[in-house]
Structure 1
Amino acid sequence: MDTQHDIALTRALAEIPGPLPPSGVIHIAVPHTSRFTIVGNHLAQHAELSLTAIGIGVHIQSLPAGSKVGIKALAARFAEGETTIAAALRELEAHDYLHRTRERLPNGRMITRTVFCDQPAALLRGGAVMPVAVVPVTPTAVVTPVVPRPVPASAPALPPAPEPTPVPEEAHPPFRVPSRIAPTSPRRPLPQPREPSPELHRAASALLADLRRHAPELVLSEGDVEELVPGAAAWLERGAHPDAIRRALTTELPQPPKYPAKIVRHRLTALLPPPLPGAQELAPVRRTPVTPFQTCEGCDRAFRSPAPGHCRDCRAQHWEAA
């Protein structure tokens, strides 16, 4: 069997037009006639999704409508645990491939409606939507495009299908995007120093490159360091000590950290301290002096006066007597 396989592989490589690449993968493309799913490169080569999330996304897209795609169902199908699968589903939700909503059926039962969109970016732009097959009463329903299967050449000829009866346009309401498919809030930008300088850039670059000495998990590439330098420079410009910045970036890291550069970027943005206050802000507040209360020496009435004596009425009586 191995010999036949090697011969077939050698023959297929010989039929590839043009010279073979010196390194890297070589594709042998055999046309599919059944049991295939069209997957966009935006999902298969997604720059921010993990490999687990991409694999689960491709698996869900290949399933028929009505298939169970909950955490327990996927954990029973694959070797990954429920925690890993739940994290991958959250990744797909964050990038609008997967949408899960709670709905109440007419009988009062609560269900989770699961919708998988194979091109979320095109859907948000108002692109065309293929006909879909939906199973509305299953606890977890997946919406997948209905792809017609090719008819084998040896199949008997079928009678022509009757002409479809025209249906009024009102019978087909337009596809409405659920509220959960709305664009998420944009990511907060990386802090930038107000007055960048070569010295500030050099100190921030050295601080980021030195992180791996204090946390071996935070190994940043040269490109990551160059991209994150403005955030570290903003901290230094605001008077943060390098040791304080280092503790903020290396304390209580997730184990294992999958994306060190993203962790550093998030902490540089979310934990940015405020600018140091100036001398005017730190000056003590001047309070208006308050005139103290005095007790009248004639009637024991309380009145405000900088010095002891008589109240207004007693002073008037003394003036009249005089």
Structure 2
Amino acid sequence: MRIHRTQHTSNFTVLPNSIVRHPRLSLAARGLLGHLLSLPDGARETVQSIAEKVSEGRIAVRKAMAQLEAEGYVRRVRHQDPETGTWSTEVTVSDAPMTGESPTDKKLTAGPAKGRFLGRSPYGSKTQEKNPSPTPVQASDSDDQAAEGGRGEASQQQNQEDASPEVGRAAAVLGRLGAVEPKLSLGAAEVLNLAPLAAEWLRRGVSELELRNTLVAGLPATVLAPARFIANRLERKMPTPRRVADPAAPAVALRAECGDCGRPLPLGQSQGICGQCSGVERAPEDPRPSVGTAAEAASLIDQIRQRRAAGTVRGSRRGFATVHP
């Protein structure tokens, strides 16, 4: 390998071989250090501004900067200005590893700012007269008791809702969804968060089977967030309240039966016989044709046998046929 070097008189940077041949620094870190050493003193450069000028990207520049800080070529010192109280970060770049404390580093001097406070108007008295500070109102004991009572009632109401039987049934349905559809597997915390919303379905008259079928029907190919998907479906498809029979309502009275035929008696009649059995009402006629008695059927069969014996009728698979001489 032949190396050709050009002698420069201006616009050049001298780098020691310890940087160019550093065994632990990547090529990106060596190039970034050479770029930083070529800048004038007091230059303002950040990871983002450097990433906009090179093709490696912000992530590669950030990794290279971290390597330089780990090896001691770059040092960041954060300090507070004692006059204004503002914080700033000072970056020091060196062509040799900085192992000790540099005399130019400023130590952290956190504390109250000296002089006037940052943000105070020079005309503070006039500003105070125009915009007086509101007088703080001290909360009375009655207000504190009312607030505590309101929070206690809300907490008690929430506990009652969580302890309702519908919430327990809804939690059981949600906990078993993973066995029916693995895409909708939920954790214990997610089940507890979704149970009150699913319990509202049960309060509106929806059965547990219908609730489960609604949640697992028509799922997409992939469900990335099962809890968020179920919450969205529960809110979006919330049914309207259904009419449910009041358990305290009186039961419908059963109609009594006729003592003779067993037909239901008219409303209001609790015993006795119906109008047809008593002869007051006429029984409806049966529209179906009457069927012959057993005696008539036996006589017809006897006549067919006699005709077959005389040879006037012969049997076949399709039925009987009359033989004419």
Q: Give the structure-1-normalised TM-score.
A: 0.31
Quick one: higher RCO (CA 8 Å, sep 6+), 1 or 2?
A: 1
- Compute the TM-score of the two structures, normalised by the length of structure 2: 0.30
Max Rg structure: 2
